Amino acid sequence: MRLNKKLKNVMGMTLVLWALFLCNPIGFQSGGPFQTPSAHAGFFDDDLDTFDEVLELVADHYVYPPDYKKLFTAAVDEMLRKVEKEKLSVSSVYSGQTLEANGHKFSYRLTFNKEENMQTLRGVYDFLHSEFKETLSKKDLEKAGVKGLMDSLDPYSVYMDPEEFEASMRDTEGQYGGVGMVITLVDYKLTVVRVLKDSPSDRAGILPNDIITRVDGQEIKGMQIHELAAKLRGYPNTQVNIDVYRPSTNVTQLTTLTREIISIETVTYKYLGDHTGYIKISSFSKQTNDQLEEAFEQAEKDGVQAIVLDLRDNPGGLLSQSVKVASHFLKEGQLIVYTQGRDRDDKQQYESLYNETWNKKPLAVLINNHSASASEIVAGSLKDSGKALILGEHSYGKGSVQTIFRMSNAAGMRLTTSKYYTPSGIDITIQGILPEIVIERDVTGLPEDSSPPAKKEIKSPPVKPIVVKESQLQDFFKKKGKTLNEETDVLVDFAKMAINNPPQPTKSHALAKARELANDIHHY
């Protein structure tokens, strides 16, 4: 799930200047309770080069000013976790800590100064490797430090080793070797959002809202989405074993899946009758806009005069594709979204690219708690422009921009470098997208924690949203004589009524009709 604003080649950082800060002989300083590491025999080798490069990228490009005490504390703590607790004593002293192992001690204190903290981290690194070199390699320690630093930022900023980075870059092409499921993180649980039709996951009976607990016997508690995705993907005809917990039955089942090439169809189209077309976009991959244009061609043949655009359960994807999708429904040059980085002048605007007949037709957009990132950009732009009526649930609230950096060791880093704002200035991360017609799910049978909580910091909307319960919608359509079955989607039916029969000329007309329908529903 990525919005790539730019791709940068980053050269390795030189360590020569560190010599300017060091004046002590080889070993550790012992003049006080806190010891500062000085130059050592391996100082000018490649020890901690990767950590240093990651740190510089964060310092220069992260969306928020770096808190060096927080960053280094997280890095050191993760290093310490690599050592068995019974073999290392960690005690607090003054405003720092003392490490003790094998009769040797090392005391340190972290500050808010980057250079001082880097020297301190090198001291911890050298001490741990010296005392536990038979079981703990330098590579393991550095990897732990990088992980701790990155984990202290946000869930979307990650370091990827060369293999993970290569797989991540392949994802944007719209084709990969995998098992055919869309996953997301819900209350720290790796949850299935959608299963691709006729994929290995579909044939194995995996369902939305299933929770993956183990992959090939490894517990994945605390694992990030990209880490799980990397484990699920692989060469075609290879197998992966996953433990799947189903909340509705409280049963965990071990399932073996055989990977295969997965071609991602992100756009589906259906004619609803009454000159209304239904378009669902499941994610924003490199192929999405091309597939959308094919759907429009069929819609024109069907004589479609109104569109229901479904972005529910869409976790996002490429920014460029979200801009193209929104452009089909707006006038050329209209603002779609803008990004704001750490610096005031680090701002970029994205405007509509096209001027097509679809911007003159009634439009309803459906979102839910799992609509995130690029789907929120589309929904937010169409809401703010006054073009589309937004229905469903409060969106997820993932409005941060991740930039991909290619590192000197062939690895990569996805770093949050700015935030997305809708044309009216809504901070998507803080507020998400609030529908004008809120549908409360009360008949889905889903567990209470299956959806992320609503955003806490919501500015009062200029117009109070209409709230309708799903059960009320069902009763309404039943009394209208409609036969409901497993394939019935009452929100789609409601959206169709709000924008069509007859086609509503403007969003304000559609909203007025939706209010009228809601009043009827509440009186049933």
Which positions are catalytic? Answer: 373, 384, 398
Distance CA 487, CA 498 (A): 20
Q: Which residues pair with 251 in a beta bridge?
A: 246
Residues in contact with 54: Cβ distance below 8 Å, sequence separation at least 6, in sequence order: 146, 149, 150, 159, 407, 413
Distance CA 325, CA 474 (A): 31
Nearest Cα residue to 381 out of 440, 311, 470:
311
The rounded radius of gyration (Å) of the Cα atoms in the chain is 26
Q: For residue 365, give the 3-state DSSP assignment.
A: strand
Distance CA 400, CA 456 (A): 17
Q: Which residues pair with 320 in a beta bridge?
A: none
Residue type, 304: V
Nearest Cα residue to 96 out of 126, 82, 71, 117:
117
Distance CA 257, CA 246 (A): 17
Distance CA 440, CA 173 (A): 36
Phi-psi region of 149 (alpha: psi -120 to 50; beta: other; left: phi over 0): alpha
Nearest Cα residue to 79 out of 112, 110, 115:
110
Provide the token pair at 484. Answer: 């409901």
502 preceded by cis ω (within 30°)? yes
Report how far Cα 421 is from the mean position of its chain's Cα atoms: 16
Residues in contact with 171: Cβ distance below 8 Å, sequence separation at least 6, in sequence order: 2, 229, 285
